[in-house]
Amino acid sequence: MNINYDERIPNNVDLSTNKTLQRALEHWQPRFLDWWKDLGPAVFQNNDVYLRTATSVDQQGWATFGMVKMPEYRWGIFLADQKQDRTIGFGDNIGQPAWQVVPGEHRSTLRRLIVTQGDTEPASVEQQRALGGSAPSLYDLRNLFQVNVEEGRHLWAMVYLLHAYFGRDGREEAEGLLERHAGDADKPRILSTFNEPIRDWLSFYMFAYFTDRDGKFQLKALAESGFDPLARTCQFMLTEEAHHMFVGDSGIGRVVRRTVEVMNELKTDDPTRIRAAGAIDLQTIQKYMNFWFSSALDLFGSEVSSNAASYFANGLKGRPDESLYEDHVAAGEYALDLPDGQGGVRSESVSMRNAMNEVMRAAYIRDCENGVKRWNKIIEKGGVQFELRLPSARFRRTVGSWANVPTDPAGNPISPELFGASLPNWIPMPADQEFVASLMHSVLEPGKVAAWIAPPDRGINNMPVDYEYVRVS
Ligand SMILES: [Fe+2]
Ligand SMILES: [Fe+2]
């Protein structure tokens, strides 16, 4: 279905036929724009940016590209097309017709799921707001802004559901999404990762790779939901999310490539010399990876969770790629490795439904491995002896069975003293952050790229790499 751009709020949900909803959303729209101006990108708000905008939601070319000033971006409401006679695909209600309205008994749970997802979208824009002041190239600056406007649209997606299906409390929750702010001492964002500062572009790429990928898995699980409008909303959000994964994956790959080049030019693997030459040593890249990966793992929740079990049982939230599983009732057992409380590890078998968070986290980790393999190929091709590794899912956790259990990055339980003493080798310390910050300077000449990162392989939408992706002059 094509998107109607003649209206104040572009949409493919026939908004004009529901005047009450239209008015409520038109009332929210100026608040969103105020938020965007106050807490969206701190610079280049009035410059033309080469951005894609959705024009239809089907697979072929849903996006058109053009020069847009960010505050004029056409944020709107886009749902994937409705599937005729869709049924619930898992849990105790399997085979029953998907819900087109919110079932009363699941109302507060669905609202909480939508608010929690919705809260992450503007949070990431807030976390990234200062990065435009130190972009390594116009290409990267454009990608940052593309991610930012799309996270803004994802907020619209969740606000639409709240307004359209949850009445007055939905409207209040939509206000709250603009009132909490990333890192705010009084009104922080709901999930801790979304309050972490994103200080530099290395962190940005890590965030886009690891944290946006958590978003991808949450959206995949919600795209299975028996609540059909939520499923359709998330299906379309996933098509936008793919670019965010690419920005993270290719960004980290380019940093690694540049480091390997410098190591070969200088014939050294000494981090001090690599840093002196203006590249980021692989050990520091590993530390950033350890930090953002372990932080993202917490987002999946506790290993054993009765909430997760009831989301699944009730058909509210499935497993990512539910259709690939054979048993959609999830009747089996799942083996967990848990801390034994005495510095060791014990095995426990729990019901599959209670282990849903862990099932999802395991699928996420497998997906994360793909990028690590690609980055290691770059290192190997460069003839350098070094292997980047995802830390264990037990490492540095603050949520679930492994929360505050000291382990090394391989997941071996260790003493709190050893953990404390070793942590500076495992995650970025202020000195590492200061070094990375020292490299962050804007490079705004078309085709030029900062010295700490390799240029991209190709441009956006078949445009040349040296295209002026943001008109800064
Ligand atoms: Fe998003
Ligand atoms: Fe994203």
Residue 26 lies in a domain: yes
User: Which ligand neighbours the alpha carbon of 208 most closely?
Assistant: 2
Residues with CB under 5 A from ligand 2 (ion): 212, 244
CA of 143 to the centre of ligand 2 (A): 12
Is 300 within the bounds of a domain? yes
Read off the DSSP letter of residue 82. P
3-state secondary structure labels for all residues of 323-347: HHCCCCCCCCEEEEEEECCCCCEEE
In a domain, 446, yes or no: no
Residue 380, domain CATH: 1.10.620.20
DSSP single-letter state for residue 61:
-
49: its two tokens: 């940016």
Identify the pLDDT of residue 1: 53
User: Burial code of 3-13, b = ≥16 C-beta within 10 A, e = fewer?
Assistant: beeeeebbbbb
Q: How far is CA 421 from the centre of its chain?
A: 31
Whole-number Å distance, alpha carbon 240 to ligand 2 midpoint, is: 7
30 located within any domain:
yes
How many Å lie between the centroid of ligand 1 and the Cα of residue 213? 10
For residue 67, the cross-strand partners are 50
449 within domain boundaries? no
CA–CA distance, 312 with 140 (Å, rounded to integer): 39
Helical axes 356-381 vs 282-298, angle rounded to 10°: 170
Q: Are 338 and 345 in contact (CB under 8 A)?
A: yes
Distance between Cα 204 and ligand 2 center (Å):
12
Token pair 């497998």 is at which residue? 366
> Residue 404: left if φ>0, alpha if ψ -120 to 50, beta else—which one?
left
Q: Which residues contact 168 (CB under 8 A, 6 or more apart)?
A: none
In whole angstroms, give the CA distance from residue 219 to residue 367.
15
pLDDT digits (tens, 9 = 90+) for 248-269: 999 999 999 999 999 999 999 9
282 belongs to a structural domain: yes
Task: Give me the residue label for tokens 């310390």.
Answer: 429
Q: Return the ligand number nearest the Cα of 154.
A: 1
d(C-alpha 122, C-alpha 181), whole Å: 8
The domain in which residue 51 lies consists of 15-439
Ligand 1 centroid, distance to 216 Cα (angstroms):
8
Task: Find the 310 Cα to ligand 2 centroid distance in Å.
Answer: 27
Tell me what pLDDT residue 55 has.
72
**Ligand nearest to C-alpha 244:** 2
Q: How far is the CA of 232 from the centre of ligand 1 (A)?
A: 15
Q: Is residue 456 part of a domain?
A: no
The three-class DSSP label of residue 372 is: helix
**How far is 83 from 232, CA to CA, in rounded Å?**
9
Please check whether residue 149 lies inside any domain of the structure: yes
pLDDT at site 254: 98
Q: Which ligand is nearest to the CA of 222?
A: 1
C-alpha span between 471 and 188 (Å, rounded): 34
Question: Which residues of the chain register pLDDT less than 50?
Answer: none
Structurally, the chain folds into a number of domains equal to 1
d(Cα 429, Cα 410) in Å, to the nearest integer?
Answer: 20
Of the ligands numbered here, which is closest to the C-alpha atom of 147? 2
The ligand that comes nearest to the alpha carbon of residue 157 is 1
pLDDT of residue 60: 58
Closest to 162 (Cα-Cα) out of 285, 21, 48: 21
Q: What is the distance between the alpha carbons of residues 380 and 458, in angstroms, rounded to a whole number?
A: 22
Angstrom distance (rounded) from CA 35 to CA 170: 19
3-state helix, strand, coil in the chain (%, to 5): 50, 10, 40
How much distance in Å is there from the Cα of 230 to the middle of ligand 1? 14
Residue 349's identity, in one-letter code, is: S
Residue 373: how many CB atoms within 10 A of its CB?
9
> How far, in Å, CA of 320 to CA of 329, rounded?
14
